[in-house]
Structure 1
Amino acid sequence: MAFFKWTFWTLFWVFTATAFHYTLPQTDIVRVTGTEIIRKDFSGFSRIFYAQADSGDNETQNRDLRLINTTRGNGRVMVYRNEDTGWRWPPYFKFDSSNLQAEASEFISTYDKPRWIAVRHYGWRNPFFSIYTNAIGFRAVDGPDAGKGFPVMNTLILCFFFGGVLTVWKLWHRFRTARIAPIMADFQGGVDAAGKAVASRRSRLNRWLDTWRAK
């Protein structure tokens, strides 16, 4: 029983941490090197890692996907997708992908004359599965070493979540102590009493049988 309990809670917290890591916003300091639009087929496994078509457009098996190509201060390349999230999950309520693409084009710069921006995004980048993080917005910064700022939203969401978990746990603990524990104690007492009664009857039966065996 303890094994299944610990297995359940381990899987629960692993799933929770994975979901938070994917959906909570993160910030990268990058330089935009170009923008492009590719035709993407969404029939494979990677479909679950994409948002949706632009708000107002029909969802189809394949559609245009906006990409923003960037380079970080250490020279590593990073590619972001630029999709509306609309009213779906995660709840970023992004409806301005076209405008964001135009703004990204304005920040295109060269290695000799870089212009650095802080890109706010969510999701994962995996070249093997052709998965891209989704850019939510960006702002101009002074350089590649500029501070990303304190993650206020992430802190509030995590505090709210763990506060909710703690509240639910306390309510369940009180309910179990006040309601379930007495019922289980009565049930266990009934089982023990029934066991003793059965043992007593067996003892009397054995004694009666012994009287016949003696003869």
Structure 2
Amino acid sequence: MRYVKWTLISLTVLIVGAFLHYTLPQHDIVRIVNTYQERQDLNDWTRIFWATPDDQSTGLINRDVQFIQAVKPNGKPMVYRNEDTGWNWPPYFKFDTANLQTKAEDLKSTAENPKWVVVTHYGWRIVFLSVFPNAIDIEPVEGPDVTIIPWFNIFFFVFLGILFLVLRRMWLQFRERMIDPVVEDVSDAWDRVDERADRVRGNARGLWARFRNWLDTWRGRPRI
């Protein structure tokens, strides 16, 4: 049971960690090289990796999606999708896809004369599944070595830690006030039941002993 317990805990931590890693904002320093629009099929299970804007039906099997092509400082390519999230999940409330695409177009540069930007996004880039992170914001930076501090993620995890400690304290107080007394009462009741059962067994053994002694008195009498 111990292995089952730790397996379940590990799976829970893994699932929650993956969910947070996908949903929380991430920051990439890149150089934008191109923007384009392409029609994407949304008729399989990978639809979960695409946004569902409020003005588009979930029944669509394909739609035009805008993309931003970029290159990282180490030379690796990176491609972002540019979709509104609307009022749906995750709650970025993004409605400015057209403006962001224009901004990306204006910040395009070449390797000889690079313009470095920080792209804030959520999601993953999975090449073999054609999954792309969704760009949320683009801001120019001085160079590829700029340090980006993820303030939102820091505050989020601090808040999550405080919430966990508060809920844990509330649970301990609830258990101390409500559950532990009930458990003690049940334990005391079982103890009383055990004591009564012991007395009944003792009385039964006493009656049986007296009955056997009475039988022994009859065995000792001479026959007529």
- What is the deviation of 1:83? 0.8
State the one-letter code of the partner of 2:158. C
Paired residues of 2:29 and 2:144 also in contact (CA < 8 A): yes
Partner of 1:179: 178
Within 5 Å, give how 1:107-146 maps onto structure 2: 107-146=107-146
- Partners of 1:190 and 1:75 in 2: CA distance: 73
- What is the deviation of 1:210? 4.0
Give the TM-score, by structure 2 length.
0.86
Partner of 1:204: 203
- Partners of 1:203 and 1:8 in 2: CA distance: 47
Q: Deviations over 1:110-148 (max 9, x none)?
A: 222221111011111111222111100111112221222
Q: Secondary structure at the match of 1:143?
A: coil
Of stretches 133-142 and 33-42 in structure 1, the one that deviates more from structure 2 is: 33-42
- What is the deviation of 1:183? 0.9
Q: Secondary structure at the match of 1:87?
A: coil
1:156 aligns with 2:189: no
The gaps in structure 1 that reach 5 residues or longer are none
Partner of 2:56: 57
State the one-letter code of the partner of 2:49. F
The gaps in structure 2 that reach 5 residues or longer are 216-224
Q: Identity across aligned pairs (percent)?
A: 38
State the one-letter code of the partner of 1:88. N
Give the TM-score, by structure 1 length.
0.90
1:21 aligns with 2:25: no
- Partners of 2:8 and 2:191 in 1: CA distance: 31
Q: Secondary structure at the match of 1:183?
A: helix
- Partners of 1:141 and 1:147 in 2: CA distance: 10
Q: Secondary structure at the match of 1:70?
A: strand
Q: Deviations over 1:72-119 (max 9, x none)?
A: 010011111111111111111100111111211112222222211110
State the one-letter code of the partner of 2:133. T
State the one-letter code of the partner of 1:94. K
Within 5 Å, give how 1:3-22 maps onto structure 2: 6-22=6-22
Bigger CA radius of gyration: 2
- Partners of 1:121 and 1:64 in 2: CA distance: 20
Number of residue pairs matched? 213
- Partners of 2:57 and 2:44 in 1: CA distance: 19
- Partners of 1:119 and 1:33 in 2: CA distance: 13
Q: Secondary structure at the match of 1:110?
A: coil
- Partners of 2:95 and 2:87 in 1: CA distance: 9
Call closer, same or farther: CA 1:97–1:45 in 2, change over 3 Å. Answer: same
- Partners of 1:209 and 1:39 in 2: CA distance: 92
- What is the deviation of 1:163? 0.9
Call closer, same or farther: CA 1:11–1:196 in 2, change over 3 Å. Answer: farther
State the one-letter code of the partner of 2:168. W
State the one-letter code of the partner of 1:47. R
- What is the deviation of 1:4? 5.9
Within 5 Å, give how 1:99-110 maps onto structure 2: 99-110=99-110
